[in-house]
Amino acid sequence: MTYPARTGSRPERGQIASRPVLRRYGRCVALVQSLSALFLFALTLALSAATMAQAQTPPRKLVVLGDSLSAGYNLPGSAAFPAVLEQALRQKGIAIEIVNAGVSGDTAQGGLERLDWSVPDGTDGVILELGANDALRGLDPATTKKALDAIISRLKARGIPVLLAGMYAPRNLGAEYVTRFDGLFPQLAETYGLVLYPFFLEGIAGDRALNQADLLHPTAEGVRVIVRNILPTVERFLATLPAKP
């Protein structure tokens, strides 16, 4: 009996054996792709929920009551301490609004005199940065302390917590003056149980690269250094604030 001749070439054994492997590989790829898509979808939902939650959370409202160091002397508003601090906190997911209530040349007494209109009702906390001009003018540290004490006392009576930013006196004013002035900030912090940042200009004082030509006021980069250094203290302060209703 004669069989009809086979047409075409005979498949190689390797080709026949690879088909199940390819099918299994294809199924694995499809499964991985499905799981990846599911993970990305879940991640997108989680991020969207977090964003919505942050948007729905009423922002904390802080006021920086200070002088030219926080007001942003010779700088655009966006480069001043309150704006840069607000941006840094928002980047950490903290809903916050910070008002710049700095006035160039202000002393502690000047801050006291404008306290009520500088810190409106609804303020959740105050960063108190005053005293540098008192020291530059050689004012009696007792006068500075009395004014700061009155500011803190009045804010406390209104239920507004305070973060106290300390200042150091110029060393050429003499050891006695320096001791009295530098010491008034930790004394007030202890008396009222305040969060204290010992030296507002920490990390930039005397640095020509981070200060303007007068060597007194920070440059934009100097402000960023101040914010970077004070940020952990501000976060600790925010953690002490009462929960918003």
Has 78 been annotated as catalytic? no
| Active-site residue, 68 included | yes
Q: CA angle 129-132-137, nearest 5°?
A: 150
What's the CA gap between 69 and 100, in Å, rounded?
Answer: 11
- CA-based torsion, 111, 117, 121, 124: positive or negative: negative
Amino acid occupying residue 58: P
CA distance 104 to 112: 14
Burial class for 58, CB neighbours closer than 10 Å (0-12, 13-18, 19+) = exposed
CB-based contact 61:123 (threshold 8 Å)? yes
In 10 A of CB 96, how many CB atoms?
19
The pair of structure tokens assigned to 156 is 């406390």
* Annotated catalytic residue within 67, 68, 70, 106: 68
| Structure tokens, 84 | 């840069």
Give the H or E element holding residue 49.
helix 13-56
Of the candidates 70, 106, 124, 217, the residue annotated as catalytic is 217
| Catalytic residue set | 68, 214, 217
